[in-house]
Structures are given as C-alpha cells and as structure tokens.
Structure 1
C-alpha cells in the first residue's frame, strides 16, 4: 500500500513539474512573439524577452538552450497561426483553385497585418535565426503548406498536372514574397487598396481564374 501511495505521489510531482515547465516556457514564448510582432527580430534579445516575461534572463536558460531555440519555436508558432487564420477565412469554401486563391489572400493579409513577422520570415539573414537550415527550408516552403490541400485536389481532379503544380508552387513562393517585400518596405503600390488589387491580379493570372469584380 505504501509503495502504491509513494508511486502516486511521485507521478503527481512529475506531472506538476511538467506543467510548471510548460507554463514557464509559454511565458517566454509569448514574450518573444509579442516582441517579434511589434518590433521585429532586432529588438529581440535575452534581457528584453525575460523582462517582458517577468523573469530574469538567467531563468530563461533553465527552459531554452539559447535565444535561437526560442526564435525557432516562434517561427513554427507563427506558421501555425497564419495557417489557422487562412483556415478560418476559407473553411466554408470548396477545395480547389478558388479556395487556393482565397488562402493565399489570407496569407498576404496576415503578413501585412504583422510586418515584423514578414521581416522575420523573409528579410532576416539566416545567421540571425536559430536552427538555420531547417528554418530556411521551413520558411521557403511555407506557401506550399498553405495551398497543398487545394493543389492535391486540383491534381486529383485533373485541373492541373503535377509538373504545372510544382511550377505554380515556385511562382507563388517567390511572387507572394516579392509583393509583400515591395509593399511592406517601399509602400509600392502606394496604398493598401491598390496593393490588394495588384495581388489579386497576379493570383488570378497565375491560376487562370476569372477576375473578381469589387
């Protein structure tokens, strides 16, 4: 009986420790994400994140190997957040080219709303971001992740060939990043309405869809 009681207590202690660790990691992750969203990567350092989380910078090292690990986690979280935003915007639509266009539109909207995240993804040098090669690959193929379900649907319904689908992915990876680069950093086109019209025309052209009338 004593052995069972001791084992239960030990399990409870381990569970509490895991919960505490998860909670503490969450504080630092949230603090880093808030800083990245509002001020960009250049504002992120150990002291800034720790102060925002409400703990000392030494405490942070109890839960993360270094700042790069924390940033890598933030990148993955932002991707999930952007994907969830696209899901929410398009969950009533039928899979296919029209929904693919809508999902890319949602991705563009997300990155214009959070230019600090766009800079983290597409402008910062990989030397400044943790887990460089996995992060670079993850970011480069992120557009694929947003549209893959719709592309698979289009391929299975013979709306597009597999080679053409691969070319479309490459065009969207580079085209979306280019559009956002000029708008977020050079304000070209000069206002948001013109920017969205330009983005819509480019997506429509790439997908061979009818032009949307506003």
Structure 2
C-alpha cells in the first residue's frame, strides 16, 4: 500500500473512531460534523473528503459496533456447550454488551433509521443481528431435531422482541431496579424461551 493510501486510511479511521466515541458516550444526538472533526483533530471540511455525509459515517460505525459486539459475545459464549446452553450464553452476553454501551443500543433500536442511513439494507442489518449471532446454534438444534425450523423461527422472534423490550425498559426506565434484578429477569425470560430444547 502506498503512503498516500495508508494516510487516507488512517484519517478515515480517525473520523470513524471519533464518531464511535461520541456515539458510545453521548449518543446520536451529539453527532455532528463539527463534533466529529474536532474529536478527530481535523477540520470539518476534511471529513467530506472521506465520507459522503455524517449518515455514511454513522452507518460504518453500526457495522463496526456489530463486529465489536460479535467478538464480545463470542468470547463470553465459546466455552458453553453447544445448543441450549450456548444460546443462553450468547443471549446474556448480547444483553451485557448493550447495557455497557447504552448509546449503541439507542443507536440500534431507538433512533429512526432515516436518521442513520438512507440505505435500504440498514433495517435488516440491525434487526437481523441477534439472529446472526445465534444462527449456528439454531442450525445445530434443528439438525438434532430438538426443534423444527418453524419453532426456531417463532423463538427467534420472541427472543428479539423480548430482549429489545427488556433492554429498553432497563436502560430508559431502570426497570427492574438494579442490574442483579435485571439479570434475574433476563435469565428467567431466556430459560422460558429455551425450555424443552435439549442438545
């Protein structure tokens, strides 16, 4: 890679990292060209040499956050036995990640998609994320005939809606009160959804 290309890649990285820091700490409401440029250490005009607009930059951050969350989940679930126990470990790690980074949760599930990006694939990218994290375990359980594809589809939907609702209530309303109460409720909800699955 030539020096100019390396430098351009580095500057792009500075802008992406600055945007990610703002999103993690302050949320989408604080993302602006000037804030990003100031944090990256460049003029706001320079940002437009590398990105079409702020929405383009935020969309790239969504992809980066998904990779970060995937790595977090993989690290915390890899030692769990395949099937029901690994699914539960994945789901709990997913919840932990978004509680640690509530700004990312809001970016994914609270903000209007029109505020993130104009691309039509943004919605499926976000709403299909939990399914993609669990996909191998669902396939494993279906192959073992622990459940049918139709039953898996119903459980996937219930887990997406349930985990999103739990996070929304806990992050925005502190309900249930305290992290230990949240974990207890999350464990009970996941156990109920995964009951009767045996790998």
1:108 positional shift: 0.2
1:134 positional shift: 1.3
SS of the residue corresponding to residue 177 of structure 2 reads coil
**Quick check: 28-37 or 123-132, which moved more?**
123-132
Per-residue CA deviations over 1:105-164 (Å, capped at 9, x if unaligned) read 000000000010000001001121113431111111111011111111111111111001
1:93 positional shift: 2.3
For residues 146 and 4 of structure 2, what CA distance do their matches in structure 1 show? 52
Unaligned runs of 5+ in 2: none
Q: Pick from 39, 45, 53 the counterpart of residue 52 of structure 1.
A: 39
Q: Pick from 38, 59, 67 the counterpart of residue 54 of structure 2.
A: 67
Counterpart contact for 2:86–2:137, Cα < 8 Å: yes
Q: Pick from 164, 174, 179 the counterpart of residue 192 of structure 1.
A: 179
Aligned-residue CA RMSD in angstroms?
1.3
For residues 185 and 156 of structure 1, what CA distance do their matches in structure 2 show? 39
Q: Pick from 100, 105, 113 the counterpart of residue 118 of structure 1.
A: 105
Q: Pick from 151, 155, 176 the counterpart of residue 142 of structure 2.
A: 155
TM-score (norm 1): 0.89
Counterpart contact for 2:23–2:103, Cα < 8 Å: yes
TM-score (norm 2): 0.96
Structural mapping, 1:83-98, within 5 Å: 83-98=70-85
Aligned twin of 1:34 = 21
**Quick check: 54-63 or 14-23, which moved more?**
14-23
* 2:116 pairs with 1:133: no
1:94 positional shift: 2.6
For residues 110 and 69 of structure 2, what CA distance do their matches in structure 1 show? 18
Unaligned runs of 5+ in 1: 1-13
Counterpart contact for 1:50–1:60, Cα < 8 Å: yes
State the 4+ residue runs in structure 1 displaced beyond 3 angstroms: none
Counterpart contact for 1:96–1:154, Cα < 8 Å: yes
Higher relative contact order structure (alpha carbons within 8 Å, sequence separation ≥ 6): 2
Counterpart contact for 2:80–2:89, Cα < 8 Å: no
How many residue pairs match? The answer is 197
* 2:157 pairs with 1:170: yes
For residues 99 and 84 of structure 1, what CA distance do their matches in structure 2 show? 15
